[in-house]
Chain A
Amino acid sequence: GAGVSQSPSNKVTEKGKDVELRCDPISGHTALYWYRQSLGQGLEFLIYFQGNSAPDKSGLPSDRFSAERTGGSVSTLTIQRTQQEDSAVYLCASSLRSQINQPQHFGDGTRLSIL
């Protein structure tokens, strides 16, 4: 498919475990973004990557969260020592570039449940 692909679509894990969420952006898109949506809330910005520039990590809620983007394409969001408040839908988006008039296109998300 031509859209943003995320895996897994659902993840259930025990509190304290580490999780990795994967995002494959649209081919040719140089900008990649991570958001999360907690129950009943709007989307909350986490981090974004633009080409080879240093990522904007200003939305990461704690140092348990990290993300990397290898080869300018696939990205992995890692949450260490998960807590119940980390339960949310994690959404990835990509755009041609991070600039005005380049809307972000979203994947269907990973629903993370921490028991």
Chain B
Amino acid sequence: DQQVKQNSPSLSVQEGRISILNCDYTNSMFDYFLWYKKYPAEGPTFLISISSIKDKNEDGRFTVFLNKSAKHLSLHIVPSQPGDSAVYFCAASAQGTSYGKLTFGQGTILTVHP
């Protein structure tokens, strides 16, 4: 079963506007969440994370929001830049696995148009 889901395979936005990427999870044991960005032929690059004791974490243009009751998180990128075009993966982990096992969503392809 898919415990972490990214229901939008792709997203297209104009440069300077906001990009919102969404992620849903089903396992209530997950308590640490991460977003990764991936360019073709490269490994994923860590962007930002949030633990379940928070509902928001911000780092520059990137903000992650967590809604535990809805088991939903989102990544906001403001303002979006063409260099942000990549595949974005959300991932989740749990204390029960010592945070060693990340469960990934299937990814969302973000395209930012100049």
Contact = CB atoms under 8 A, between A and B. Distances in A.
A35 to B, nearest CB: 8
Given A100-B32, A101-B49, A33 B42 contact: no
Contact of B107 (A42, A93, A105): A42
Interface stretch (A14-22, A43-51, A60-68, A74-82): A43-51
A42 B104 contact: yes
A45 B106 CA distance: 13
Interface in B7-42: 31-32, 34, 36, 41-42
A88 B80 CA distance: 31
Contacts of A4: 43
A104 B34 CA distance: 10
Contacts of A48: 100-101
B94 to A, nearest CB: 10
A98 B94 CA distance: 11
A26 interface: no
Interface string B34-57: 101000011111100101000000
Given A105-B46, A106-B43, A99 B101 contact: no
Interface residues of B, number: 29
Given A98-B100, A100-B51, A103-B49, A108 B42 contact: yes
B89 A42 contact: yes
Contacts of B99: 98-100, 102
B69 interface: no
B78 interface: no
Interface in A26-43: 31, 33, 35, 40-43
